[in-house]
């Protein structure tokens, strides 16, 4: 796509800022700091001297052809830019929920699916929406039959401001709050229109983490980014579409589900709600850029959140990509050289997504090419280990990213169970939510120390529990009125949040879990 951009005002803006202002989406998971190297564009007209980081990313030939990093390239005048199509527009998003049908031996091909097709007769419709930091998932529901008629998904285009919630909080503080709000409103409107066509749905129910919901509702995120981490309002919200969007649209009313704290949002409330009742000593675990976890204590719930970083979504990995067609999602190593891989959609390999990097690291550990401290043996320490024949490598830095992410999850799980007065082995059932969790090879996740070995045989991958919770509220609130809202409020009110961010115990456990299992 070719875009004409105009510099205006005394302060010169970089291409990323100009593209955002023009409404063009570009992948920038590092938030425009120049570290990820993803915001590649080609300057077709206009002048801008390459900076040192761009000379690291591009060859001399590429620089002469005009290739630049949008976040670092500051043109002196108006210019014309070629923006490559983002692979993220075809990112795989989990929209299904499997509940107890998931198990440790699942395969994507064996999943039980709901009906998915074009709506037939005119019915009373509702829309359930899960706003994730990376993607959005939505479902059109027949309110009379409770049938899922159609699903849709999209990339959360706020990723142009950074891949994680901390980047979004910083961007909002730097004056981009309204731009972030308009971005998510535009994404929701597009999904709702795709699902409804020219018709109108009665209501929409939205589940999302606390930062996403604050940005959606126009609340300040300042209190979410610093101690004592106090949100503006996390109660259940009801409004008309016009009140939220400022215009009429494909839905009449909108409900935003209640959160629990600054760290535990409405997506987790919805996840617990989707499971009806977690069994006592059962855990709901959602692994992404954050790892959110809830333990049922019998009298209520304990919840915690840890910053895992973007490694499990392909971020901060040298050849990392999101879950797009061609992403390496699984791997097996034969001998010490032949890595056999599978990719999403069976497409030619384009990089490593989260499940792929876990598989590769596990195989390197299994063949003793990585020691317990995470050090890759020579000659691969210097050059990286080749995954296939397509210039995809796993580097020492990538292995460190996996160590940091898995140590955060394990430390959080240890302190969560400890606060609940039980050991890891006493956990009765573990529900792993989300697309990453569903496609995760659980044996290999245990093998690298991401999940405790004591949980083997207790883990169920349930799919998108947040979207399922939103769907459940949508149908139950239609038939039972305020009773459904009271159930959700009860979950939030009965949940105690552990603040692990400043805990010395967390730091100790985190360091203890950095090594890989021997």
CB 353 within 8 A of CB 320: yes
pLDDT band at 122 (very low <50, low <70, confident <90, very high): low
Q: Which two tokens stand for residue 471?
A: 């769907």
Share of the chain above pLDDT 90, in %: 70
CB 158 within 8 A of CB 168: yes
Question: At a CB cut-off of 8 Å and minimum separation 6, what does 481 contact?
Answer: none
pLDDT at residue 12, rounded to an integer: 87
Place of tokens 């004409």: 4
CA separation for the pair 268, 397 (Å, rounded): 31
Mean pLDDT confidence for 137-156:
94
> Could you report the per-residue pLDDT of 242-259, keeping only the tens digit for each?
999 999 999 999 999 999
Question: At a CB cut-off of 8 Å and minimum separation 6, what does 390 contact?
Answer: 348, 349, 350
Mean pLDDT: which of 164-168, 229-233, 333-337, 497-501 is highest? 229-233
CA separation for the pair 237, 255 (Å, rounded): 5
> Could you report the per-residue pLDDT of 460-475, keeping only the tens digit for each?
999 999 999 999 999 9
CA separation for the pair 444, 82 (Å, rounded): 41
Q: How high does pLDDT run on average in the chain?
A: 90
Q: Which two tokens stand for residue 16?
A: 């990323």
Q: Give yes or no for residue 491 having a pLDDT over 80.
A: yes
Mean pLDDT confidence for 79-88:
84
Q: From the CB of residue 31, how many other CB atoms can be counted at a distance below 10 Å?
A: 22
Surface-to-core class of residue 137, CB atoms within 10 Å of its CB (0-12 exposed, 13-18 middle, 19+ buried): buried
Q: From the CB of residue 236, how many other CB atoms can be counted at a distance below 10 Å?
A: 17
CB 88 within 8 A of CB 44: no
Q: Kindly report the backbone phi and psi dihedral angles of residue 82, in degrees, each rounded to the nearest multiple of 5, phi listed first.
A: -95, 125
Q: Give yes or no for residue 139 having a pLDDT over 60.
A: yes
CA separation for the pair 310, 300 (Å, rounded): 30
CA separation for the pair 272, 279 (Å, rounded): 11
Domains detected in the chain = 2-85 (3.10.20.30), 108-276+465-475 (3.30.420.480)
Mean pLDDT confidence for 162-191:
94
> Could you report the per-residue pLDDT of 198-210, keeping only the tens digit for each?
899 999 999 999 9
> Could you report the per-residue pLDDT of 31-72, keeping only the tens digit for each?
888 888 889 999 999 888 899 999 999 999 999 999 999 999
- Residue 303's nearest CA partner among 257, 277, 272, 276 is 272
What DSSP string describes 354-418?
A: HHHHHHHHHHHHHTTSB-TT-PBPTTHHHH-EE-TTSS-EE-HHHHHHHHHHHHHHHHHHHHHHH
Q: Which two tokens stand for residue 255?
A: 């409900």
CA distances to 12, 130, 149, 293, 473 from 250, in Å: 39, 17, 16, 34, 19
CA separation for the pair 206, 253 (Å, rounded): 11
pLDDT band at 115 (very low <50, low <70, confident <90, very high): very low
Q: Give yes or no for residue 404 having a pLDDT over 50.
A: yes
> Could you report the per-residue pLDDT of 356-375, keeping only the tens digit for each?
999 999 999 999 999 999 99
> Could you report the per-residue pLDDT of 276-327, keeping only the tens digit for each?
878 999 999 999 888 999 999 989 999 999 988 888 888 888 898 888 889 9
CA separation for the pair 360, 386 (Å, rounded): 10
- Residue 329's nearest CA partner among 318, 316, 340 is 340
Give the three-state DSSP class for 178: helix
Can you count the helices (H) and strands (E) in the chain?
Answer: 16, 21
pLDDT at residue 304, rounded to an integer: 96
Q: Which residue has the higher pLDDT, 115 or 411?
A: 411
pLDDT at residue 323, rounded to an integer: 87
Cα torsion through 32, 35, 37, 42, rounded to 10: 50
């Amino acid at each position: 796509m070719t875009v004409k951009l105009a510099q205006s005002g005394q302060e010169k803006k970089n291409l990323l800022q100009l593209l955002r202002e023009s409404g063009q989406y570009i992948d920038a998971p590092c938030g425009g700091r120049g570290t990820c190297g993803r915001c590649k564009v080609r300057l077709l007209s206009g002048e801008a001297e390459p900076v040192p980081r761009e000379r690291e990313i591009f060859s001399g030939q590429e620089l002469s052809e005009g290739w630049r990093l949008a976040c670092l390239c500051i043109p002196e005048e108006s210019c014309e830019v070629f923006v490559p199509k983002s692979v993220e527009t075809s990112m795989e998003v989990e929209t299904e929920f499997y509940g107890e049908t998931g198990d440790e031996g699942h395969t994507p091909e064996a999943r039980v699916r709901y009906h998915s097709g074009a709506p037939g007769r005119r019915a009373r419709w509702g829309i359930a929406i899960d706003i994730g930091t990376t993607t959005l998932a939505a479902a059109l529901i027949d309110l009379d039959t409770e049938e899922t008629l159609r699903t849709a998904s999209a990339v959360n285009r706020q990723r142009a401001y950074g891949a994680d919630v901390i980047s979004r909080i910083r961007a909002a503080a730097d004056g981009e709050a309204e731009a972030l709000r308009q971005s998510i409103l535009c994404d929701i409107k597009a999904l709702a229109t795709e699902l409804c066509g020219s018709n109108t749905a009665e209501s929409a129910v939205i589940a999302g983490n606390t930062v996403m919901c604050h940005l959606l509702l126009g609340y300040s995120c300042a209190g979410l980014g610093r101690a004592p981490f106090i949100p503006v309002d996390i109660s259940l919200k009801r409004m008309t579409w016009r009140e939220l969007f400022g215009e009429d649209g494909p839905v009449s009313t909108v409900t935003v589900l209640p959160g629990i704290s600054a760290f535990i949002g409405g997506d987790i409330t919805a996840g617990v709600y989707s499971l009806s009742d977690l069994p006592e000593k059962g855990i709901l675990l959602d692994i992404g850029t954050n790892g959110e976890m809830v333990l049922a204590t019998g009298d209520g719930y304990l919840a915690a959140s840890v910053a895992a970083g973007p490694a499990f979504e392909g971020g901060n990995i040298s050849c990392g990509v999101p879950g797009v067609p061609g992403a390496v999602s699984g791997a097996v190593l034969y001998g010490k050289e032949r890595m056999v891989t599978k990719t999403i959609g069976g497409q030619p390999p384009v990089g490593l997504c989260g499940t792929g990097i876990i598989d590769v690291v596990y195989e390197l550990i299994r063949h003793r090419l990585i020691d317990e401290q995470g050090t890759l043996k020579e000659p691969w320490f210097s050059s990286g280990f080749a995954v296939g024949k397509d210039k995809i490598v796993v580097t020492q830095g990538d292995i460190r990213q996996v160590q940091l992410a898995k140590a955060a999850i394990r430390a959080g799980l240890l302190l969560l169970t400890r606060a609940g007065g039980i050991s890891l082995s006493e956990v009765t059932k573990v529900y792993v939510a989300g697309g990453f969790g569903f496609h995760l090879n659980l044996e290999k996740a245990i093998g690298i120390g991401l999940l405790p070995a004591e949980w083997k045989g207790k883990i169920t991958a349930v799919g998108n529990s947040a979207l399922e919770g939103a769907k459940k509220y949508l149908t139950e609130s239609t038939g039972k009125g305020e009773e459904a809202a009271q159930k959700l409020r009860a979950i939030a009110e009965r949940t105690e949040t552990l603040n692990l961010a400043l805990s010395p115990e967390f730091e100790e456990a985190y360091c203890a879990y950095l090594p890989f299992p021997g």
